[in-house]
Each structure stands twice: as C-alpha cells, then as structure tokens.
Amino acid sequence: MSGFFLMMNLKNKDKQLQIDGLNKSGNALEIRGISGWLLTTFLATAEAFLDSFEPLEALRDRPTKFRISRLRHNNIVQLFETYDEKQFVYLVMELVTGGELFDRIVAKGSYTEQDASNLIRQVLEAVSFMHDNGVVHRDLKPENLLYYNQDEDSKIMISDFGLSKTEDSGVMATACGTPGYVAPEVLQQKPYGKAVDVWSIGVIAYILLCGYPPFYDESDANLFAQIIKGEYEFDAPYWDQISDSAKDFISHLMCCDPEMRFTCQSALEHPWISGNTAYTHDIHRTVAVHLKKSLAKRNWKKAFNAAAAIRQLQLLRLSSNSNRLQKQASQQQPAPPIA
C-alpha cells in the first residue's frame, strides 16, 4: 500500500482532526495519503504521474467511497472519513497495529492447519459481507490482511480498498490486482465479478499451508499463462502433511471457471472451515522457511519499485522546472521593434 501515515485523534463530533504522532490510545485513527505509487505522496509536482493510476481515481468514485464507508464488519478496517484534494485523496481509517499476516506467522512459535482455517474463515466472513453489500475488493492479498493488535488471539482485518468497485457502478473488465493473486478471467479481459475475490482467497489459503505461492515465474507472461490454465500442484513433500480436505477446499476456490467456483458462502460451509477436518499438528517450521524467502523477495521488490518511482518523479520535477524556466525566459525577452 502506498502513501504516508499519520496518527490522528478524532477531536470531537464535528470531526476536527488533531495530529498527534505519539498518541496510541484506543481512539487513535490513521490517515493515509493515497498516491497510487510508493512514496509519491511526498512529491506534489507529480500530479500528472499520480493521476494516471487507478487507485486514486477509484477513491474519487463517490458511489464506491460511500458504499465502502458503510461497510461495518468486525474484520474490515473501517473508513471514517475522506478528504478529496486536487492531488491526493486522504482517508481517515481505523488504526490497526498488529502487523501483516505473513510477518506474524513467521514470528509465531507454532502454527497449524487449523490456525490457517481460522484465518481464512475470518477473511471469508468479511468478504461475504462485502459481496452482500455489492462491493468487490479486487486486490485481496496477504499484504492487505492485517492483525488488529499485538494480542496472540488478535482478529484479522481486511484493508486497502483502493481498487474496490461496486457492482452497480457498471461492468467490471479492467485488468487490475496483484500478479500471482489475480483470477484467470481478469487476465483474459473478460467481464468479471465477485468470484475474483474468491480466487484470491484460494491463493492465500494455498500459501498459508505451504509458505510458497501456487503460481510463480520471473516472467509475468509465463506467470499469467500458468494462472489462466490453472496450473498448480500440491507438491510433495510439503503437501504430504496437509489434509485432503484442505486440498479439496483450495481446489474449489482456485477453479478456473468462475461459474463453478465456490462463493464465499459455500466456502464457509466446507468442512475444512465449518467442520473439524483441519489437522492440528505443527507445520510452522516448513511454512516459515518458505515465507521468509517470499518476504525477503517482496521487500527487495518494494525497495526497487520505490527507487524507480523516485527516479521517475525526479525526472518529472526536472522537466517541470525546465519548462518553467523556459517560460520565464521567453517572458523576459524584449518585444521586437515595431517596423
């Protein structure tokens, strides 16, 4: 998620905001400057660059903002208020402090298939609620699943609605999302709907049980070809210790045909979620080893993208300054003599 973060307090019922960078009381809120690219909120000269990214435009979609602001669920980060300025959209959101999903799993001393089932159940309940209210997230991934606080039994929270869309806002056909988590119909540029979120949850469930993604290739073209064909395996020996029920559950979520794919409600009724088929033996060692590698690669990619964004913005600023100087120089030139 791009943008910068400030701790805020809701000063009174009129929503006057008081900046307090050190306040961590129970009523603390968070404000995010949504830019559409890492770190770009700090550079106001990049308006044209920022406006080319859909997250900013999606957040200016008033029907979508209104619908999202009405989403009140125990596992959804609450949007309290939005402030729309020329260059940025500011979101005042519920503060969650427990950290990202994968980081917490790596830090745990033990972790079981049943723990994964409990996590996915919370995500499914929240996404089912979203779908019932006509909202499609379109960018579900582990980075957008946050723990509410540092407690051992903390609930999981869905965040980052920058790419979300309401069903009544028109046909969804835009290719958006995160490579590796995006559904086949999105890559095929077909009209799509709620089922894309279910596919993403299937990918997340897969990773939660083995620590690595079902689809991977250094080339995006090859990666997308794998996703479109639904080419994934439950590799030995990593999946030998995972229940057949878990594999069946994932297969119904990562089904290439969106018409045959589980809905959130049918997924919640699967015995791996609603029953007691999830194994309880510790799989932390295997999962954590692979997750650490994935996290290291992801952090490197974030740093690379940040550096690329800064270079691009510096070029834009230099170009802007050059144009301004040229304009000033032309204005200072003496007028030609009148013949």
Identify whether residues 15 and 159 lie together within a single domain. no
Q: What is the pLDDT of residue 315?
A: 63
Question: What is the CA 12 to chain-centroid distance, rounded?
Answer: 31
CB environment 63-97: b (16+ within 10 A), e (fewer):
ebbebbeebebebbbbbbebeeeebbbbbbbebbe
Residue 325 lies in a domain: no
312 assigned to some structural domain? no
Domain boundary among 280, 305, 321: 280
Q: What spatial distance separates the first Cα and last Cα of the chain, rounded to whole Å?
A: 62
- Residue 122 CB coordination number (10 Å): 16
Same domain, 87 and 108: no
Same domain for 259 and 157, yes or no, is: yes
Strands 89-94 and 28-34: antiparallel
- Total domains in the chain come to 2
Confirm if 193 and 210 have CB atoms less than 8 A apart. no
Q: Are both 44 and 108 inside the same structural domain?
A: no
Are 50 and 146 contained in the same domain?
A: no
pLDDT tens series, the chain, 339 aa: 333 333 333 333 333 333 333 233 333 333 343 333 322 332 232 233 233 333 444 445 545 555 566 788 999 998 887 777 777 767 788 889 999 999 999 998 899 999 999 999 999 999 999 999 999 999 999 999 999 999 999 999 999 888 888 888 778 988 888 889 999 999 998 999 999 999 999 999 999 999 999 999 888 889 999 999 999 999 999 999 999 999 999 999 999 999 999 999 999 999 999 999 999 999 999 999 999 887 766 654 554 444 555 565 556 656 666 666 666 666 666 655 554
301 backbone dihedrals φ, ψ, rounded to 5°: -65, -40
- Predicted local distance difference test score (pLDDT) of residue 258: 96
For residue 37, tell me if it sits in a domain.
yes
The CATH number of residue 42's host domain is 3.30.200
Place of tokens 């290719």: 175
Domain that holds residue 57: 5-94
**Cα atoms found within 13 Å of the Cα of residue 74, Cβ hemisphere only:** 6
* Pair 78, 146 in one domain: no
66: Cβ–Cβ under 8 A, 6 or more apart, which residues?
none
What does the alpha-carbon distance between residue 316 and residue 163 come to, in Å, rounded to a whole number? 25
Q: Which residues are catalytic?
A: 139
Q: How far is CA 24 from CA 1, 3, 31, 294, 306, in A?
A: 21, 20, 14, 31, 28
Within a domain: 252: yes
The verdict on residue 23 lying in a domain is yes
Whether 311 maps to a domain, the answer reads no
The residue ranges of DSSP E strands in 115-272, in sequence order, are: 135-136, 145-147, 156-158, 165-166
State the Cα–Cα distance between residues 52 and 87, nearest whole angstrom. 12
- Given 48, 79, 94, which residue is the final one in a domain? 94
Contact by Cβ (8 Å): 179, 190:
no
Of 94, 118, 142, the position where a domain reaches its end is 94
What are residue 76's DSSP bridge partners? 158
Whether residue 139 sits in one domain with residue 83: no
Nearest C-alpha neighbor of 225 from the set 233, 217, 213: 217
Question: Do 162 and 207 belong together in one domain?
Answer: yes
Q: Is residue 203 part of a domain?
A: yes
Instruction: For residues 38 and 146, state if they share a domain.
Output: no
Indicate if 82 and 140 belong to the same structural domain: no
Q: What is the pLDDT of residue 302?
A: 53
Residue 147 shares a structural domain with residue 261: yes
Cis peptide upstream of residue 184 (ω within 30 degrees of 0): no
Q: Do residues 82 and 151 both lie within one domain?
A: no
Asked whether the whole model's pTM tops 0.75, one would answer: no
So what's the pLDDT on residue 310?
56
Domain assignment present for 56: yes
Q: Residue 150's domain is classified under what CATH number?
A: 1.10.510.10
Q: How far apart are CA 218 and CA 34, in angstroms?
A: 28
